[in-house]
Amino acid sequence: QEVPTTGRGKRRLGVMGGTFDPIHHGHLVAASEVAALFHLDEVVFVPTGQPWQKGHKAVSPAEDRYLMTVIATASNPQFSVSRIDIDRGGPTYTIDTLRDLRALNTDSDLFFITGADALSQILTWRDAEELFSLAHFIGVTRPGHDLTDDGLPKGGVSLVEVPALAISSTDCRARVAQGDPVWYLVPDGVVRYIDKRQLYRG
């Protein structure tokens, strides 16, 4: 794996955006693996505000998604959670996430981590060209999706293989709705939080 170099003395900050409804072990393994491979100092998880791609589908309250993300990442000293997308209000565009994180972390180079499914959609995102000037993109493998950088700027994207976890939030929600277990698909504290708040019961 060729690791892009950073400006001298710069921190290396990973950014993991997502709806996290709920956060699951696929997200956590991807972030952990990329952090190790790319020598990141920290990975910040950024739960979305009202996600525009999921505009008509019901998304759990931002505070629940934020708290599940905090619960899931709290024990890892390299992981943190940012409220910027939630507190901005309105739909989340990754360009805003990255502009804000840049402004808040002038000492850091940004590495935006994204699964194969999301990577293939990037050219449809707002201000797609500018995205690549704000962060280096790291596409990770995801079962059921092809990982390709076709059409994406050369040098702007790295593709990495991470341990395959065929887990999605959609499937976790469906399992809870059917009364099936989500133990070991999501962290224990997240199982208990879903139960406590009666999320995904339909």
In the bound state with ligand ATP, the residue whose beta carbon lies nearer, of 12 and 115, is: 115
Is residue 21 within the footprint of ligand ATP (CB under 6 A)?
yes
- How many chain residues bind ligand ATP (CB under 6 A)? 18
Residue whose pair of structure tokens reads 């505070």 in the numeric block = 63
Residues 194, 65 contacting (CB under 8 angstroms)? no
Judged by CB under 6 A, the stretch of 38-46, 75-83, 114-122, 193-201 that binds ligand ATP is 114-122
Region binding ligand ATP by CB under 6 A among candidate stretches 1-9, 16-24, 147-155, 181-189:
16-24
> Which CB sits closer to ligand ATP, 1 or 106?
1
* Helices 25-37/62-73 angle, 10° precision: 50
What would the two tokens of residue 110 be?
């940004």
Among positions 74-103, residues that touch ligand ATP (CB under 6 A) are none
- Enumerate residues 138-197 that contact ligand ATP by CB under 6 A: 140, 142, 165, 167-170
Instruction: Specify whether the CB–CB gap between 143 and 137 falls below 8 A.
Output: no
Stretch that binds ligand ATP, among 19-27, 83-91, 103-111, 183-191 (CB under 6 A): 19-27
CB 174 within 8 A of CB 197: no
Reported in sequence order, the residue ranges of the chain that DSSP labels E, i.e. its strands, are 11-18, 42-47, 50-51, 79-81, 91-92, 108-115, 136-140, 157-160
Binding site for ligand ATP (CB under 6 A): 18-21, 26-27, 30, 114-115, 117-118, 140, 142, 165, 167-170
